[in-house]
């Protein structure tokens, strides 16, 4: 590599900004197995923890909480604790989160529109994996 020839040339910013486009930034926020689902579901309005848990099927408590905390720290949702005796908490999208969730809609639509092909693809994918594993 030609870089190795240079005697450690400049490069004064070790902080790599590294954005192909805004996509990198977005992905950093929504990466997490259930995060897109959570955000998208919250478009329906304030949601209690329990509801969310039931909505986002198969998510474990640990991970759900963890994701919620991260999303809150990232400023896309807000946690509301009503300080009631049987705990009562709900989650809302911030304006930022709302716009993000809306940006997810095309993906949702795409999935819906191509549901049939997806079914086929997943079926093939599964049998393909089975062969490979056996």
Partner DNA sequence: GCAAGTATGCACCTTTAGGTAAGTACCAGG
Partner DNA sequence: CCTGGTACTTACCTAAAGGTGCATACTTGC
Residue placing its CB nearer to a copy of itself in the complex, 65 or 103: 103
Q: 95-114: which residues touch DNA (CB under 7 A)? A: none
3-state DSSP of the chain: CHHHCCCCCCCCCCCCCCCCCHHHHHHHHHCCCCHHHHHHHHCCCCEEHHHHHHHCCCCCHHHHHHHHHHHHHCCCEEEEECCCCCCCEEEEECHHHHHHHHHCHHHHHHHHHCHHHHHHHHHHHHHHHHHHHC
Q: Which of residues 18 and 116 has its CB atom nearest to DNA in the complex?
A: 18
Q: Which of 66, 87, 111, 127 binds a copy of itself (CB under 8 A)?
A: 111
Q: Which residues bind DNA (CB under 7 A)?
A: 1-2, 4, 32-34, 48-50, 53, 58-63, 65-69, 79, 81, 85-90
């Amino acid at each position: 590599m030609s870089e190795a020839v240079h005697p450690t040339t400049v490069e004064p910013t070790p902080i790599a900004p590294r954005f192909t486009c805004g996509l990198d930034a977005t992905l950093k926020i929504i990466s997490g197995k259930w995060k897109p689902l959570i955000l998208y579901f919250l478009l329906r309005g304030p949601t209690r923890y329990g509801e969310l848990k039931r909505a986002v099927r198969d998510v474990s408590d640990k991970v759900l909480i963890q994701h919620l905390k991260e999303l809150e720290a990232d400023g896309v949702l807000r946690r509301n604790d009503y300080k009631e005796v049987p705990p009562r908490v709900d989650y809302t999208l911030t304006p930022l989160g709302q716009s993000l969730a809306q940006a997810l809609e095309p993906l949702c639509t795409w999935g819906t529109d191509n549901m049939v092909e997806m079914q086929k693809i997943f079926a093939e994918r599964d049998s393909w994996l089975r062969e490979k594993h056996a």
